[in-house]
Amino acid sequence: MNKRKKFKISDDINRGITEVINAVDNNVGSFRYEVVALSRMEIDPNNPRELALTTKDIIFGIDVNDAQIIKKRKEKEDLESLASTIKHNGIINPIVVYKHEDKYRIIAGERRFLAAHLAEKQDIHARIIDKKPDEMDLRLLQWIENNERKDLSLSERLKNLEVIIEAYNKKHDHEPITGDILKKLTGLSRAQAHLYLSVLRGFNDLRKCIEDGMINNLDKAALVSGVTEQSLREKLLLACSNGSTIKALKEMIAKNKKDYKNNLTNVVAKKSGRITQCINLGRTKNIDVIRKVVEAVISHPAYNKHAGKFNNVAWNEYKSVALAFQSLLSILSEE
């Protein structure tokens, strides 16, 4: 029987988390610890939720006519183990909340909050912030919270990073985020930050496979994200869903390149003279040229629907710009 892999936080992430906590401490006001009645706590309605399960579902039961009944039952089942731990040992890590009128709204710890209800607890230890943090600090606190979960999927990690990037863009007047900036914000290693950005800037078919649970490995996802040829990408995605290794995926890419070169050589050999089989778009060190080309294309009504794919391009990084240009060529070739 295969042993289930456990998510381990690296030294780099631990250092990053410590830096983020210190930064948040300095920016969002003072913290204090208290035991707070569960009845005085509520889920923040302004925060995006991954769970469908609500406090009402826990207290009164899930409505049999609820359209999300299957998802909610699965989430409740997943919380049973945590509820048992809380019932016998209490809360090990306090949840994080902020004061809102006569209630406390949850910043991080929603699963523990619901599990405490499930364990029929009356109160819970909480770390209280005097005022609601701004969106950037809020997302960083939630990132720290979520990184403590060993069962977090690749899809959930990408969604967490997306809200951090969105908050960063808003705070910095839509400045594109780079791998180095993401590293500093989240505590990820430099390599991990660039891999995540590569996947986030990848094609929709890749993201769909990740959301469907067909790919849960960052290295595999990043490898596929760099493939612009749709037919090859589809083969790689299918291979991923069938459990192919990184080595096997790299061999598929290498074979595709070799076959392409052989086919091109054969075509040229059969015809007299040298016949052009592809168009060389040239080289440039001026990143601004590529940016102008991309912006000119996506401003056209026929291609404007793809504009969102280029929101997070780091226009000061050659690799990021090259990937953006490859993505543009792929879009133009497919339509």
pLDDT digits (tens, 9 = 90+) for 280-290: 666 777 777 88
What's the average model confidence in pLDDT over 12-37?
60
The tokens for 78 are 């997943």
236: pLDDT strictly greater than 80: yes
d(CA 181, CA 205): 27
pTM: 0.58
- Of 216 and 277, which is predicted with more confidence? 216
Q: Is the dihedral of CA 12, 154, 52, 167 positive or negative?
A: positive
d(CA 202, CA 197): 8
Q: What is the mean pLDDT of the chain?
A: 81
Q: Are 304 and 298 in contact (CB under 8 A)?
A: yes
9: pLDDT strictly greater than 80: no
The tokens for 251 are 């061999």
d(CA 105, CA 114): 13
Query: pLDDT tens across 108-162, in order?
Result: 888 899 999 999 999 999 988 877 777 787 778 777 766 666 667 898 889 888 8
Query: pLDDT tens across 237-267, in order?
Result: 999 989 999 999 999 998 888 877 776 666 5
In the prediction, which pLDDT does 149 show? 61
Radius of gyration of the chain, Cα coordinates, nearest whole angstrom:
24
**Percent of the residues in the chain that have a pLDDT greater than 90, as a whole number:** 26
What's the average model confidence in pLDDT over 78-88?
89
**Angstrom distances, CA of residue 53 to CA of 48, 61, 334:** 13, 10, 40
Find the helix packing angle between 230-241 and 218-225, rounded to 10°: 170
Query: pLDDT tens across 45-65, in order?
Result: 877 677 889 999 999 999 999
- Of 71 and 300, which is predicted with more confidence? 71
26: pLDDT strictly greater than 90: no
**Angstrom distances, CA of residue 291 to CA of 47, 245, 323:** 34, 35, 12
Q: Report DSSP letters for 144-210, one per residue.
A: HHHHT-TT--HHHHHHHHHHHHHHHHHHTTTPPP-HHHHHHHH---HHHHHHHHHHHTS-HHHHHHH
Strand runs (DSSP E) across the chain, as ranges?
31-37, 41-43, 95-100, 103-108, 123-129
6: pLDDT strictly greater than 90: no
Residue with tokens 């410590």: 18
Pairing of the two strands 103-108 and 41-43: parallel
d(CA 236, CA 4): 24
**3-class SS at 300?**
coil
- Of 199 and 317, which is predicted with more confidence? 199
In the prediction, which pLDDT does 61 show? 92
pLDDT band at 295 (very low <50, low <70, confident <90, very high): confident
In the prediction, which pLDDT does 318 show? 77
d(CA 177, CA 161): 11
